[in-house]
């Protein structure tokens, strides 16, 4: 007798199914975190360059204590 969804009652290991589901959930979470927190190398390089420019500008504008 076949089940209503057309499968003929596949036998699955519950522990393997649980582990598989856990892996998929972890990968989904990791993907979301990469999107939320990740930056490309070009973005990091641009930020570092901008910080360097700001630091130089600040150093040039400091008042002399003399």
Q: Has residue 52 been placed in a domain?
A: yes
**pTM score, whole prediction:** 0.45
Structural domain contains residue 46:
yes
Task: Tally the domains of the chain.
Answer: 1
Query: Alpha helices, DSSP H only, in the chain?
Result: 14-37, 41-61
Quick check: is 34 in a domain?
yes
pLDDT tens column, 1-32: 455 666 667 888 999 999 999 999 999 999 99
Q: What's the rounded Cα separation, in Å, for the pair 16 and 2?
A: 24
Does the residue 5 lie in any domain?
no
Average pLDDT over residues 52-60: 87
**Does residue 4 lie in a domain region?**
no
Residue 28 lies in a domain: yes
Span 42-60, mean pLDDT?
A: 89
Q: Name the residue range of residue 44's domain.
A: 14-60
Average pLDDT value over all residues in the chain: 84
Among 15-24, 35-44, 45-54, the range scoring the smallest mean pLDDT is 35-44
């Amino acid at each position: 007798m076949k089940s209503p969804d057309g499968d003929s009652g596949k036998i699955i290991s519950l522990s393997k199914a649980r582990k598989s589901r856990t892996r998929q959930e972890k990968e989904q979470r990791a993907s979301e975190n990469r999107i939320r927190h990740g930056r490309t190398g070009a973005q990091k390089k641009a930020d570092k360059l901008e910080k360097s420019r700001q630091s130089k500008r600040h150093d040039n504008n400091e008042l002399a204590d003399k």
